[in-house]
Structure 1
Amino acid sequence: MSLSAMANILTFLLGNSQTRGVWTTFTNAISSVMMSRLILNLRDSRLSIPLQHSNRTTLTLPLPVPDFDSE
């Protein structure tokens, strides 16, 4: 993502009128994809939080799931 942003900046600084900003679309697309991947990777697939116990056993506590059916 940083390399894409740097390439975009360099095209604005060093490019002529036809090459200026050619990396803009790619930079926007790659930043959106990378941020989405980051958000998805931060979330646990089973929605549980592993906790370390003093005797090194792993406890998982389920996260509360909102109930949208109640009115």
Structure 2
Amino acid sequence: MKHCREEHAARSAMTGRQVLLAQAVLVGGLMLALLVKEIPGIVRELRIYRMTGGLRAGNRYP
């Protein structure tokens, strides 16, 4: 009977690959949420960059 319990416990436990996959999904979701949260600020910064001339501005702005 002891052997049967060990097999059941081994089958129900997560493997290392599953743990890594779960961590990757969690980190990916957090990164996506952060990107979505920061989109308005990124758009604002791009608008300011374009108004100041971008790469064409040269030495006008220190």
**TM-score (norm: length of structure 1):** 0.38
Higher Cα Rg, which structure:
2
In proportion to residue count, which structure has more strand? 1
Higher relative contact order (CA 8 A, sep 6+): 1
In proportion to residue count, which structure has more helix? 2
**TM-score (norm: length of structure 2):** 0.42
